[in-house]
Amino acid sequence: MMLTLGTTAQAVASCLLFGLPFLLPYLRRTEGLTLAQGGALVAAPSLGLVVTLIAWGAFADRYGERLAIAVGLGLTGMVGLASAQVSGLGVLAVLFVLMGAAGASVNSASGRLVMGWFGAHQRGLAMGIRQMGMPLGLAMAGALLPPLARLGGLRLALGVPAVICLVVTAAVVLLAADPPHQPVAGEAGARSPYRRLILWRLHAASSLLVVPQFALVAFSAEYLVSQRGWDATAAGRLLAVVAVAGAAGRIASGRWSDVVGSRLAPMRLVALAACVSMLVVALTASTGVRLVVLALAVASVISVADNGLGFTATAELAGRAWSGRALGVQNTMQNVAAFATAPMVGALAGSSGFAWAFAAVAVFPALGAWLTPVDGERRAHSALAVASGCGDHPA
């Protein structure tokens, strides 16, 4: 039940926070925005996320996951309803920022909720399922937002997912429960895990891996519409299917990490695969062959597969006493990268073409693979196993 609630909350929040790029073709057509301007507008929720993620993580550490999710998701729905009623891009951008600031609670607290209810040997799979929330939210956005915008403009496209957020908020209030606190050896009075370099390297690597993910989320629909002549609704439907496949990929990578007893070794391999897949996207985009659609789909699935691994590793390495704040830092750094990605890739695509923009993006997962602290994770797990007197599973 807790896994279902956490995943559902993440999905409906992601529909509003990260699904806005599906409205980019509509916004460019009706508002005359450039790629860079449109990219900045649809990335505005990431700016709000950046400002409040750590605070929401600390709130969850202190007051519990249930309250954090309910308050934040409820505010997300209310701000979403407000954004559906306004006119003017400036006011809309401000509300998008506020929507991200409220939705940040779900990013931090729902992950902490899942981590608290599952043991170490199940966490990879459980967090992989919870991390399905974002691609499922993107699938919902891809299926709903373009046709809703065509039927009723931004009022309908933003209003429907906002109401869904409020419905899920009611379910969280009625059904969610904070996990029991089971102290782990060495965690009482735990010092800050940020005294060690490993978490900083993990956050940096995860942030670099967000770049291909968000570049594809932000511009796949626009590329298919403007460069391949697709209808916006058809592009949204295709990308909704791709997002569901990405959700399945997160589950598979989570289970993989449980089997091998490591989160970061699989994460490094996924990073290398993301680099290669982005180069293939760039090559097919430069030649104009139809295979570019398949390449976009494959790269989109690969680029999201690492996310649950990074979150699970962050919570495990930080320990329960610090997990909310650590997940907040993880999300903050990822959303800084996401916010910078959209205008950067949009400007490069506008000046040099999509092929060069996709090729430039391939550099980031290569750097992420190099930074991923696989050896540090192994040493940390060994030290914790000795402290707890149990070497069966990483705690």
pLDDT band, residue 383 (cuts 50/70/90): low
Average pLDDT over residues 332-348: 84
pLDDT band, residue 262 (cuts 50/70/90): confident
Q: What pLDDT, on a 0 to 100 scale, did the predictor assign at position 265? A: 92
Q: What pLDDT, on a 0 to 100 scale, did the predictor assign at position 274? A: 95
SS (H, E, C) the chain: CHHHHHHHHHHHHHHHHCCHHHHHHHHHHHHCCCHHHHHHHHCHHHHHHHHHHHHHHHHHHHHCHHHHHHHHHHHHHHHHHHHCCCCCHHHHHHHHHHHHHHHHHHHHHHHHHHHHHCCHHHHHHHHHHHCCHHHHHHHHHHHHHHHHHHHHHHHHHHHHHHHHHHHHHHHHHHHCCCCCCCCCCCCCCCCCHHHCCHHHHHHHHHHHHHHHHHHHHHHHHHHHHHCCCCCHHHHHHHHHHHHHHHHHHHHHHHHHHHHHCCCHHHHHHHHHHHHHHHHHHHHHHHHCCCHHHHHHHHHHHHHHCCHHHHHHHHHHHHCHHHHHHHHHHHHHHHHHHHHHHHHHHHHHHHHHCHHHHHHHHCHHHHHHHHHCCHHHHHHHHHHHHHHHCCCCCCC
Average pLDDT over residues 339-351: 85
Residue 391 has pLDDT above 60, yes or no: no
| 22-80 pLDDT per residue, tens | 888 888 888 888 777 887 888 888 888 888 888 887 888 788 888 988 999 999 999 99
**Highest mean pLDDT: which range of 116-130, 282-296, 372-386:** 282-296
Least confident of 66-70, 130-134, 232-236: 130-134
Share of the chain above pLDDT 70, in %: 91
Q: What pLDDT, on a 0 to 100 scale, did the predictor assign at position 395? A: 36
Average pLDDT over residues 2-19: 88
pLDDT band, residue 389 (cuts 50/70/90): low
Residue 93 has pLDDT above 70, yes or no: yes
The architecture (CATH level 2) of 2-176+197-387 comes to Up-down Bundle (1.20)
**Highest mean pLDDT: which range of 194-203, 266-275, 321-330:** 266-275
pTM above 0.75, yes or no: no
Share of the chain above pLDDT 90, in %: 26
Residue 319 has pLDDT above 80, yes or no: no
Residue 11 has pLDDT above 70, yes or no: yes
Q: What pLDDT, on a 0 to 100 scale, did the predictor assign at position 162? A: 93
| 112-123 pLDDT per residue, tens | 676 678 776 776
Q: What pLDDT, on a 0 to 100 scale, did the predictor assign at position 385? A: 57
Residue 392 has pLDDT above 80, yes or no: no
Residue 393 has pLDDT above 60, yes or no: no
| 97-110 pLDDT per residue, tens | 999 999 888 877 77
| 181-216 pLDDT per residue, tens | 544 444 444 577 888 888 999 999 999 999 999 899
Q: Quick count: other Cβ atoms within 10 Å of Cβ 119?
A: 10
pLDDT band, residue 315 (cuts 50/70/90): confident
Mean pLDDT of the chain: 83
